[in-house]
Structure 1
Amino acid sequence: MRLDNQYAQFSWAGSVVQPSPLLSPTLLLLNAELAEELGIELSQEQWRDLVSGHWLAEGMVPFAQVYAGHQFGGFSPQLGDGRALLLGEVITPNGQRWDLNLKGGGKTPYSRFGDGRAVLRSSLREYLASEALYHLGIATTRALALVTSKQPVYREEVEAGAAVLRAAPSHLRFGHFEYFYYSGKSEHIPTLLDYLIDTQWPDLTKDAAGYGNLFARVVEKTADVIAQWQLVGFCHGVLNTDNMSMLGLTLDYGPYGFLDAYDPHHICNHSDSGGRYAYDQQPAVGYWNLQRLAQSLSGFVEMDALQTALGKYERQLMSAYSEGMRQKLGLTAWEDADPALFRDMFNLMATHKVDYTCWFRRLAGVSASGEIPADLAALLANAESFSSWFEQYQARLSREGTAQAERVRLMNSVNPKYILRNHLAQQAITMAEQGDLSEADTLLMLLARPFDEQPEFEAYAEPAPAWACDLSISCSS
């Protein structure tokens, strides 16, 4: 393992903190494929001891980062890694730089009233979700390893302690820059920007123009990842600025959820009583958060450059979303009537509570002429209500002229058959808490190929049962 710990040299950016070991740890999951990509070769015992805080590889400098953030619209001047530690920066065999970030490593100077611990429930949810989104082609942090422990952790009830090792090219957040801006330490902001340029985007210059181009890149990547969330029906749940990645990665999996029945106003976080982070609000929240980042960079980037970049956000997001939605519907060309076709479809789906993922997957069975396939009709409580829309859609397919087999292939390559539904994740967690990892292993296996048929897992592709449709998740982790 080759380490180059540049960030930990910024003593003003956090604190060196040794992990607090978990009692009697057990290695539950190891992402061997990712470990190989990162060039990390450890024994099972070394992985267990590393993630549980009992051992550090030579050259690791555990570092808790300080940052701030706007949480549900209100500013918190100091947050930081309350239970996470940057263990080191790995240089991969192909020369890329990746952070190793341990979540659940114990108290840090930024723990506030927390215990610095994580529980198995939330740690396994993060592991499953980050791998699910990765295999859907969505920018995300990755999960490298998960341990559990006999050490009790106190939340709403007593739960099993755990820790998860995350990996990403960088864990820099909007909140890092907010902290130094609002704390009157803006002189450190160019250093962080230069670090980001050196390690991620060396094509940019280290001056006002380069910083402006960096911000424009953050805007573009943020728009792209939120468009991808909307396309697959993913709801993050806690889009505070401290949970926003400078690289446009899906970061910090808490009370997330995928849509079951289509509801544009779906709230996956039961703490979000006002719906600030509801599914349909994510694009607007992304823009609001970028405005907060722009303010933090305003001393080092021309205001015109910031405004120009922000002005491209909506266009970038809508372009990515519209292109993605056409692909989901098997359309290759643009027609002026397409927005109305999309809108009418979503209105019907919302009215009749149609399962989002199953709808798009089964839509591939519709031909330019012919009956609606039985598996699609089975989703619709009142298929007659959709007849007019199907006529428009079939006429649209006729104008496209794409051969049916090719269209089915293209649609099935962008419309997943399998997603991480809340009830599936909960079943895996319940079994894991009893010492049975078989369901978690099954989910990881099928979610690694979400677009493939995998008929042996057909039951996992069905709509959520009625009891699971209203599941919401708390921020407790």
Structure 2
Amino acid sequence: MDQALAEASAALELGPAWQHGFAQLGPAFFTELRPTPLPDPHLVSVNRRLAADLGLDADRLAGSDAVAAFTGNQALQGARPLASVYSGHQFGVWAGQLGDGRAILLGGIATPQGVQELQLKGAGRTPYSRMGDGRAVLRSSIREYLCSAAMHGLGVPTTRALVVTGSPQPVRREEVETAAVVTRVAPSFVRFGHFEHFSARGQLDELRQLADYVIDTFYPHCRAPDRLGGNPYAALLEEVTLRTAAMVAQWQAVGFCHGVMNTDNMSILGLTIDYGPFQFLDAFVPTQICNHSDETGRYAFNRQPNVAYWNLFCLGQALFPLIGDEELALAALEPYKAAFPRELEARMRAKLGLASEKSGDRQLVEQILSLLAAGPVDYPIFWRRLSRFAAGGDLAAVRDLFLDRAGFDGWVAQYEARLADEAGEPGARMLAANPKYVLRNHLCELAIRQAKLGDFSEVETLLSLVQSPFEEHPDHDDRAGFPPDWATHIEISCSS
């Protein structure tokens, strides 16, 4: 039996039919290559809820053959592994060619959720690794696995993670750690940087081919003749603008800091992608910088909305050769200025239990955010306690969070008057909008410490909690409390 036949017979059949829309774009867009195997792979966790969404058997995914396949040690029948090329702006500076330096796309599978692409992150070097080793470490892989589940549980558009596998293979970061591979899932992993790459190189045929693929696959309504003068590329930019505005508004409402909003980390589908030095806010500090590598604070929490618009402008520049009209390109970007505040206000009204919209609502939100920042007050605990108060609970538990009691008393009097105008049960609405369980950094850290010792039980516990963060889970109240003092000393960098 020759080698190709032997490999085909050993390949694991996942079940669903594979589709390779991105691979059909041709070799200018990627390099086909196989993952680099890791020694002695083991299972860390399977996201059973995601497996069910995809129509996959979670028990089978936990088997040794699947663990080998999702580590890159065994082929998946029907997969067509490749690494894509893109470019981008990193920390506001043009970085030139980048690409999938440690991620390998396997292809898309047909699922009840539509076609979903599977990508192995940490599967070895590619032609785009530059000076990198192509690997991911257990620490960062667990963080991405849990955070993508947490964001999905909160209703924030995101890539997801199906499986994490580990290996004793040493990997050097700030210190020597062990290797891991995350199987990521999304309808597409196309980024702003894919468009920047071909535009910057003057490869306009490839730029048009990529744009047509994205439009025809994900945004076919952009070809409607009444959209922006019948220009489908301007309509594409407008659609991405609106999706990005909505996504970032959700980030701000839930207190999520991405940490590295480079243009190559921005999804063309408006998904949260590339979880590295992320953080959910503990205390409400608008200037919070969660990335230890971000020395200038470019990606601070309160700067995320403006950075997103800057990134969209870069995408507009990349698409301009196809749009061909400066006024049309600017018109496609303009909706961000209204869409972002509109989306954020809607999210903040929901957090306050306000189903209707009134003229003083924005001021009510701004006043409480100022009081939270002045404390600073723990962001998730405040909103959960306020929800309980609106549902008939004790106001003292909320008031005790503030040093400025008089300021809070003045605000809550206005809030109670506003709440009296609301029909239905605003407290119940708030409990469904303000999570009890948030994936704080110290919770991740505790799970990682156990995982490094071979105990993945805390990963499983946190996965369960963040997938249903609005439920009470009374046996786990300790994971919904204030962070310990040592949590303020956790430092997360781009190497995570």
Note whether the superposition's TM-score is higher than 0.5: yes
Corresponding position of 1:63:
82
Amino acid at match of 1:363: L
Conserved in 2, the CA contact under 8 Å of 1:97 and 1:199? Answer: no
Could you say what the CA RMSD is over the residues aligned between the two structures, in angstroms? 1.8
Corresponding position of 2:423:
402
Corresponding position of 1:442:
461
Superposition pairs for residues 70-219 of structure 1, below 5 Å? 70-93=89-112, 96-205=114-223, 209-219=231-241
C-alpha change, 1:410 and 1:206, in structure 2 (3 Å) is closer
Superposition pairs for residues 194-273 of structure 1, below 5 Å? 194-205=212-223, 209-273=231-295
Residue from 380, 397, 415 that aligns with 2:402: 380
1:253-288: CA deviation from partner (whole Å, max 9, x where unpaired): 000000000011010001111110000000000000
CA distance in 1, matches of 2:278, 2:176: 22
C-alpha displacement of 1:372: 5.4
Corresponding position of 2:4:
none
C-alpha displacement of 1:213: 1.5
Matching of residue 413 in structure 1 with residue 432 in structure 2: yes
C-alpha displacement of 1:472: 3.2
CA distance in 1, matches of 2:446, 2:36: 30
Q: Percent identity?
A: 46
C-alpha displacement of 1:206: 9.2
C-alpha displacement of 1:90: 1.2
1:381-411: CA deviation from partner (whole Å, max 9, x where unpaired): 443341111112122222x1435xx111101
Superposition pairs for residues 233-382 of structure 1, below 5 Å? 233-301=255-323, 302-366=325-389, 373-382=395-404
CA distance in 2, matches of 1:374, 1:461: 19
Amino acid at match of 2:440: R
Name the SS for the 1:167 alignment partner.
strand
Matching of residue 32 in structure 1 with residue 53 in structure 2: no
C-alpha change, 1:442 and 1:285, in structure 2 (3 Å) is same
CA distance in 2, matches of 1:153, 1:367: 50
1:397-452: CA deviation from partner (whole Å, max 9, x where unpaired): 22x1435xx11110111111111000000000010011111111110111111011
Amino acid at match of 1:336: S
Matching of residue 7 in structure 1 with residue 22 in structure 2: yes
Conserved in 2, the CA contact under 8 Å of 1:47 and 1:145? Answer: no
Structure 2 unaligned regions, length at least 5: 1-15
Conserved in 1, the CA contact under 8 Å of 2:389 and 2:427? Answer: no
Conserved in 2, the CA contact under 8 Å of 1:267 and 1:472? Answer: no
1:101-138: CA deviation from partner (whole Å, max 9, x where unpaired): 11001000000000101100000000000000001000
Structure 1 unaligned regions, length at least 5: none
Matching of residue 18 in structure 1 with residue 34 in structure 2: yes
Conserved in 2, the CA contact under 8 Å of 1:106 and 1:116? Answer: yes
Using the TM superposition, name which of 8-17 and 464-473 deviates more: 464-473
C-alpha displacement of 1:367: 5.1
Conserved in 2, the CA contact under 8 Å of 1:377 and 1:383? Answer: yes
1:306-347: CA deviation from partner (whole Å, max 9, x where unpaired): 211211102111111101111111112222222222222111
Q: TM-score, normalised by structure 1?
A: 0.95
Conserved in 2, the CA contact under 8 Å of 1:354 and 1:380? Answer: yes
Q: TM-score, normalised by structure 2?
A: 0.92
Corresponding position of 2:451:
432
C-alpha change, 1:367 and 1:199, in structure 2 (3 Å) is closer
